[in-house]
Structure 1
Amino acid sequence: MHVRRSAEEIAANRQRYEEHQKKGLEFAPKTLPTPSPLPAPAISPTAVIHQETIPGGWYWSTLLKHGEALRIDQQDGASTVALIAWNAADTSERLNLVDTVKMQWTTALGKGRVIFSDMGRVMFSMIEDSAGSHDCLMGGSTAASNAAKYPGVKTRNTRDNFILATGKLGLERRDIPAVLNLFAPVRIDDTGGFRWQGKTSNSGDYAEMRAEMDMIVAFSNCPHPLDPNPVYAPAPVTITRFRAAAPAADDLARTATAEAVRGFENNALMQA
């Protein structure tokens, strides 16, 4: 049943929201870090657990344990990498980009930001990022979007890749959460539409994401639907799983916002 709210109630709700937003923004750091340096520094061989190269158009999944990290590296050329994740102990808990944006008051994800689950816990901390151009709004490519963009060309797409990946993991289509697209400079324009903001990522850009719980993570290496390149030619992407350094007490991702602090408190309750 639809409930019509009065103008006074709507105004009061808006005021509460704006007050909450103001507190959240006041807590956030005044200056976020500059992009991570290029070229990417070498990872100590003793810290490396596994390295995988995902060919253009293909997918891969891995178990990632609390305290480990992933480096996603475009060392062979620019390419968008789509990512989804689940709590390894309970796959009903999964990546939640709506809460990630809402709780941090921004769609701009980069070094110092965190990725939340749908249970209000932190799944990833972004500990390095040279690109600063990631899309958490639009989702990945589909058979239909590829057919429209690359007519007459046989291609692979992110949606079907993730269906294959989840099936191999014993999951179903309904278990696929919203997709985080790394290295995709998508922003909202003045009309409210999605816009590719130029090719702001470079061949050699990388992102590092530290696991804040045990997870299953799946990747798809297919062009973003808005990628302006008219040719389907995704470059290989290298993903390195490694043991991350223990976070310091003042770790930016753990202290950047009041919501992140609460998220890590929720994690501590889970891991106790």
Structure 2
Amino acid sequence: MSSQTLVESPLDPAKAVYREVVPAGSPWIHEVKEGQTFRILDLEGNQAADTIFYSLERPTEEHYSAIDTIRAQGNAYLTTGSTLMSNEGNPMLTITADTCGRHDTLGGACSAESNQVRYALDKKPMHNCRDSFLTAIAESHYGLTKRDVVPNINFFMNVPLTPDGGLTFEDGISDAGKYVEMRAEMDVIVLVSNCPQLNNPCNAYNPTPVEMLVWD
């Protein structure tokens, strides 16, 4: 369940066709075409990047599926070699390099409601990933709505499974300069909330920027 496959990438950031730094707590939405390689770079370490993928051709019908991905690989964690599957059983992306070691796809995204339930009543107004997702899709032209915000991947987030099948949120295992890289197996829309969480150690209680890079 906890195996790690550390693989560095041969790609040169200077040759990327797209680069953008996403500030702490901000959303990001962008297209990645089939055959392109997409990297999320943890600039300062221990930052969680909540991510959902959609088919560019049919975004309201086909999207990333945590259930299909876990079932296909027989592992609860994501790392080099993992194929990210859609709800229709199609490969969306393949993780080709990973210097962090593993990534969570069970813990879900923080929301106003989960912050209130997990932490305190007065945490409900705090900025959260679900609101970031909704902000990004509302400003996009893909026709996505609240119903399309499905269970996500938490890149760089450490959510160990307990022996009795529960989940715990622990200090991150990433560090400054670590990254995860994936090749698109179809044209996809990438939706990211650069997590603003301040109530658990997933961001070391200090949200920081991440950088997005794309190569042809």
TM bin (shorter chain): 0.7 to 0.9
Q: Equivalences for 1:1-272 in 2 at 5 Å?
A: 34-37=5-8, 43=12, 45-46=14-15, 48-91=16-59, 92-147=61-116, 149=119, 151=122, 155-169=126-140, 170-223=143-196, 227-228=200-201, 232-243=205-216
Inter-partner Cα distance in structure 2 for 1:188 and 1:159: 23
2:136 partner amino acid: A
Q: CA RMSD in A?
A: 2.5
**Alpha-carbon deviation of 1:235?**
0.5
Inter-partner Cα distance in structure 1 for 2:49 and 2:13: 24
Identity, % of aligned positions:
31
> What number of residue pairs does the alignment pair up?
209
Maintained 8 Å contact 1:133/1:186: no
> 1:53–1:230: structure 2 CA closer, same or farther, 3 Å change rule?
closer
Inter-partner Cα distance in structure 1 for 2:214 and 2:85: 20
Inter-partner Cα distance in structure 1 for 2:199 and 2:103: 13
1:211 partner amino acid: A
Inter-partner Cα distance in structure 1 for 2:136 and 2:86: 19
> 1:44–1:224: structure 2 CA closer, same or farther, 3 Å change rule?
closer
Larger Rg computed on CA atoms: 1
Inter-partner Cα distance in structure 2 for 1:53 and 1:135: 22
**Alpha-carbon deviation of 1:132?**
1.8
Deviation readout 1:63-96 (Å, 9 max, x if unpaired): 1100111110012332000100111011111111
Maintained 8 Å contact 1:185/1:196: yes
Deviation readout 1:175-234 (Å, 9 max, x if unpaired): 112110000111210222102344322122100011110011110011568832797521
Inter-partner Cα distance in structure 1 for 2:160 and 2:123: 29
1:87 partner amino acid: S
Q: Tell me, what secondary structure is at the counterpart of 2:206?
A: coil
Question: TM-score of the superposition, structure 2-length normalised?
Answer: 0.86
> 1:225–1:114: structure 2 CA closer, same or farther, 3 Å change rule?
farther
Maintained 8 Å contact 2:197/2:207: no
Maintained 8 Å contact 1:78/1:204: no
Maintained 8 Å contact 1:70/1:208: yes
> 1:35–1:180: structure 2 CA closer, same or farther, 3 Å change rule?
same
Inter-partner Cα distance in structure 2 for 1:153 and 1:177: 21
Maintained 8 Å contact 2:198/2:207: no
Inter-partner Cα distance in structure 1 for 2:7 and 2:66: 23
Structure with the larger helix share: 1
2:84 partner amino acid: I
Long gaps (5+) in structure 1? 1-31, 244-272
Long gaps (5+) in structure 2? none
> 1:100–1:159: structure 2 CA closer, same or farther, 3 Å change rule?
same
Question: TM-score of the superposition, structure 1-length normalised?
Answer: 0.70
Q: Tell me, what secondary structure is at the counterpart of 2:17?
A: strand
2:78 partner amino acid: L
Deviation readout 1:40-76 (Å, 9 max, x if unpaired): 7661534x11111111111110011001111100123
